[in-house]
Amino acid sequence: MNLTRHDFTVNTAQNSENQILFRAWNGVVSVYVNEELAAEIEGMWDVPGVLSVGTNYSGSETAQDFAMMAKSISAVSTSPVRDQSFDLEVVSQTEKHAIIPTDQFDEMSASFKDPFTTNPELLDYGIRIGLPNSNRHFNIEQTNHPDGTHTVRMTVTFDHNGSVFWSESITQENYTPNQFSIRVIKLNTKLFVVLDGVKHSVNANLDFDFDVFQNLNFFVNSAEVVVDSRDARFLSSPYVRVTEFGLWSD
């Protein structure tokens, strides 16, 4: 079991409130304080134990009859989809996709496996998350380049004409060849994207008081490049394998 601590801010003024949120998924417990990630505990696979939350205030504050009270508490099952897997066929000059209708959700994760064993082609694949209230979608596209680098491009795009509202690109420095994992988290008003275990805070100019995540579209070869399905470098058959697909909703 691994514990990673992060810096976070606590409201210490008299009568102020602090929100503590625990998220459990795929053996990882994430602790958020006031929407900031405070700690991550990995390896929590059916392991019995005790989770303790401690606070540390200076003497001047504890001398004023400090008391901590729970204003509200809830515990719910939040995973409508868990550990699903499927294949996306790689077809030359054609985008192939899997459209998955969903209810509103706050978090999703998936892992992709590129079918090329070595020297991958310029092949892209990824996911589009629907933003139905504004007729847009949040697009995350991973591309393997012939020189071995991996680029992740994130965009917010309008559905009706494909125009880009916002975009950002990330070049992955550390990655596992032929594999790519992604986790998207909408936490109140904030958006986080975890790429191969590296967490990024994303400012995509989305208003989560209005926008919601709903419906998914997994895709491969959106650039419609030429791919030889008989290429000897394919691991077995020309498919991008999607595994560990899960959805969560608060």
Task: Kindly report the three-state secondary structure assignment for every residue of the chain.
Answer: CEEEECCCCCCCCCCCCCCEEEEEECCEEEEEECCEEEEEEECCCCCCCCCCCCCCCCHHHHCCCCCCCCCCCCCCCCCCEEEEEEEEECECCECEEEEEEEEEECEEEEEEECCECCCCCCEEEEEEEEEHHHCEEEEEEEEECCCCCEEEEEEEEECCCCCEEEEEEEEECCCCCCEEEEEEEEECCEEEEEECCEEEEECCCCCCCCCCEEEEEEEECCCCCCCCCCCCCECCCCEEEEEEEEEECC
Residues 119 and 216 both lie in one domain: yes
pTM of the model: 0.69
Residues 147 and 184 both lie in one domain: yes
For residue 245, the model assigns a pLDDT of 92
Residues 122 and 224 both lie in one domain: yes
Residues 50 and 86 both lie in one domain: no
Residues 242 and 124 both lie in one domain: yes
Q: What CATH number has the domain bearing residue 159? A: 2.60.120.200
Structure-model confidence comparison of residues 116 and 155, the more confident one:
155
Could you report the per-residue pLDDT of 172-207, keeping only the tens digit for each?
Answer: 876 776 788 999 999 888 999 999 888 899 999 999
Residues 243 and 193 both lie in one domain: yes
For residue 202, the model assigns a pLDDT of 94
Residues 212 and 121 both lie in one domain: yes
Is 19 within a domain? yes
Task: Please state the rounded mean pLDDT for residues 206-231.
Answer: 87
> Among 204-208, 219-223, 231-235, 237-241, which stretch is predicted with the lowest mean pLDDT?
231-235
Residues in the chain: 250
Residues 30 and 152 both lie in one domain: no
User: Of 27-41, 44-58, 154-168, which has the strongest mean pLDDT?
Assistant: 154-168
Structure-model confidence comparison of residues 131 and 25, the more confident one:
131
pLDDT at 38 over 90: no
Locate tokens 């550990």: which residue? Answer: 83
Is 74 within a domain? no
| Structural domain that includes position 27 | 2-62
Residues 92 and 130 both lie in one domain: yes
Residues 51 and 107 both lie in one domain: no
What's the number of domains the chain is made of?
2
